[in-house]
């Protein structure tokens, strides 16, 4: 799956890996850094890949562990005090990426 989801692998493995708390302090800051460093095309591709993964997650084909094993994602939204599960957080992430694209496209 990771070949088909190259941009998600780069996002999760690069910005929300095991060092994200020291590097960014919060998941929101990690997402902001990704947005500031990425092209509109990369963000759009990441959003498309995220839609595919959300659909599989909703259908029960994926678990939260999948994000660590396949993408190197060490972020757990339940563990950061928000109490939301991975699916809720992924949908919020999706909204954030979509808003960014809408506000930055010419």
Q: Record the pTM.
A: 0.90
Q: Residue 76: what are its φ and ψ, rounded to 5°?
A: -125, 110
Give 78's pLDDT tier (boundaries 50, 70, 90): confident
Rounded mean pLDDT, 84-100: 94
Give 85's pLDDT tier (boundaries 50, 70, 90): confident
For residue 1, tell me if it sits in a domain: no
| Angle between helix 86-104 and 27-37 (nearest 10) | 30
For residue 74, tell me if it sits in a domain: yes
Number of domains in the chain: 1
For residue 100, tell me if it sits in a domain: yes
Q: Extract the tokens encoding 68.
A: 């660590």
Query: Any idea what the Cα angle at residue 87 is, between residues 7 and 32, rounded to 5°?
Result: 50
Query: Domain limits at 85?
Result: 6-104
At residue 69, does pLDDT exceed 80? yes
């Amino acid at each position: 799956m990771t070949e088909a989801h190259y941009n998600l692998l780069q996002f999760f493995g690069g910005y929300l890996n095991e060092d994200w708390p020291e590097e960014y302090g919060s998941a929101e800051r990690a997402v902001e850094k990704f947005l500031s460093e990425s092209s509109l095309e990369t963000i759009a591709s990441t959003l498309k890949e995220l839609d595919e993964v959300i659909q599989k997650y909703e259908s029960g084909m994926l678990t939260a562990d999948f994000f660590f094993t396949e993408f190197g994602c060490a972020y757990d939204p339940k563990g950061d005090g928000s109490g939301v599960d991975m699916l809720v957080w992924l949908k919020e992430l999706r909204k954030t990426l979509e808003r960014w694209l809408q506000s930055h496209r010419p």
